[in-house]
Amino acid sequence: MNRFCLMIIVVILLFTGCARTHKFSTMGTEYQIAYFTDEGLDRKHGPLIMKELSFPLYFTHRESVFEIVPRDIASVGKFTKFKNIVFADDISTEDGVTVFLRDILGSDVLNNVRRISIAHQKDVWIEGQSVLFLLFNGKDYTPAEVEKTVKGAHTRLSEYIGERISEDLAKEKVSKKAESMSRERFGFPLLIPFRYSLFKESETFLSFVTRMPDRLFFIAELPPTEVPVTMSFMIEARNNLTAEYYGGDRIVELIYQWQKESPDVPWYGEFDVVTVDGRPVYRLTGLWENQENVNGGPFITYLVEREGKRYLLDAMLFYPSGNKWPFLNKLEASLKRTVRSLQAGAGQ
């Protein structure tokens, strides 16, 4: 990416955004993108750009993270309040998108684009907005270059939306019962929205649930052990807990085999060490099932070690008839908030 070009774009967008003193409500959901592109670019690379922007994620079926809503540049004025906007343009043309971008960014910015540049800016026309620019110069870029660029753009958009979700979550009331019961049992609060009610409990286990769709959190203190934390360890630990408290739920271990057999397919299932506020924690994602009740869905589990103890923090979803990704993001935001409180030694 041309850093000079990116810097100029950010400065100009900040100026145009700050020039408006009043901010209105945004249009669209967190997972809809108003998409503007020029005819030539769309004809050559449109399907690839749309695919990578939507990012198809695979549970047992395909689900796109983003819903792309293509719009004609002539109607752009109606969509400046949209929550997420993407402009994809070959600036070497005189297409309508190029003309629009030249008007708002200036010719100097477009003239400094070399091959492909990405720029992302929030709150351009309205508060709570994310605008992404994919700027191409010429027609000699390969599909591999386009794919790599759009994947990077998708990552930026996802990260910013994750921040927005966390900010919105922080404005919600938390469940006082979950907070106090977790603090009493484990020494740190379980920070989940107020609408959740107690589902199951023991001295080392707490579970809360809300419906429509079914979403469950649990937190558990694991038995002491010196066994290293691996994928197998987390699978066994979670299976033992869900067998006892959730009537036989088990992790679908086949998803990890599918991932090995098809590494290019973004299956929703992995084990990794991630950082939360710079501190390492173990993270397992995948699918759960209950063959007796014939149901299942995705889950997210964190394992955190503190003062010689291990804690599992889990969120799971049952929503067979709808898109799961919007709910999973909010579930994980609650988990991360709880992990931060645990790591900070809250309640000690």
- The DSSP code sequence of 75-140 is GGGGGTTBSEEEEEEETTS--HHHHHHHHHH-HHHHHT--SEEEEEEESSSSTT-EEEEEEE-SS-
Closest alpha carbon to 118 in 154, 94, 82: 154
Tell me, yes or no, whether 332 lies in a domain: yes
Residue 102 and residue 193 in one domain: no
Banded model confidence at residue 122, pLDDT cuts 50, 70, 90: confident
- 201 and 314 within one domain: yes
Task: Please state the rounded mean pLDDT for residues 105-120.
Answer: 78
Average pLDDT over residues 46-74: 91
Whole-number pLDDT of residue 109: 73
The residues pairing with 281 across neighbouring beta strands, listed in sequence order, are: 274
Q: What is the pLDDT of residue 7?
A: 47
Q: Do 195 and 141 reside in the same domain of the chain?
A: no
Please check whether residues 110 and 259 belong to one and the same domain: no
Q: What is the model's pLDDT at position 153?
A: 87
305 and 156 inside one domain: no
Asked, for residue 158, whether it belongs to a domain, the answer is yes
- In a domain, residue 195? The reply is yes
Give all strands of the β-sheet with 67-70 in edge-to-edge order.
67-70, 32-37, 84-90, 130-136, 116-122
Interaxial angle between packed helices 325-343 and 143-171, expressed in degrees from 0 to 180 and rounded to the nearest 10: 60
Q: Is residue 256 part of a domain?
A: yes
- pLDDT band at 21; cut points 50, 70, 90: very low
Give the pLDDT band (50/70/90) at residue 101: confident
Distance separating alpha carbons of residues 302 and 339, to the nearest angstrom? 8
Last residue of a domain, one of 133, 152, 170: 170
Judge if 105 and 162 occupy the same domain: yes
Q: Return the CATH number at 118.
A: 3.40.50
pLDDT of residue 49: 92
**213 falls in which pLDDT band (50, 70, 90)?**
very high
User: Residues 160, 202: one domain?
Assistant: no
Residues 275 and 163 in one domain: no
pLDDT in tens, 158-168: 888 888 889 88
In the structure, what pLDDT confidence band is assigned to residue 136 with cuts at 50, 70 and 90?
A: confident
Is residue 307 situated within a structural domain? Answer: yes
157 with 198, same domain: the answer is: no
- pLDDT, residue 139, reads 72
234 and 101 share one domain = no
Structurally, the chain folds into a number of domains equal to 2
Q: Which of 23-37, 58-72, 186-200, 278-292 has the lowest mean pLDDT?
A: 23-37
Q: Residue 196's domain is classified under what CATH number?
A: 3.40.1000
- Mean pLDDT calculated for residue range 18-46: 76
Residue 179 is part of which domain span? 174-343
55 and 204 part of one domain: no
User: Which residues make beta-bridge pairs with 208?
Assistant: 198, 217
Which of 170, 187, 221 delimits the end of a domain?
Answer: 170
**Per-residue model confidence (pLDDT) at position 60:** 83
Q: Judge whether 102 lies within some domain.
A: yes
Residues 195 and 158 in one domain: no
Q: Is residue 348 part of a domain?
A: no
Rounded mean pLDDT of 304-332?
93
Residue 213: cis peptide before it, omega within 30 degrees of 0: yes
Question: What is the reported pLDDT for 135?
Answer: 87
* Residue 32 banded pLDDT, cuts 50, 70, 90: very high
> Which of 170, 198, 216 lies at the terminal end of a domain, its last residue?
170
Q: Supply the pLDDT for residue 25.
A: 62
Q: Write down the mean pLDDT value for the chain.
A: 87
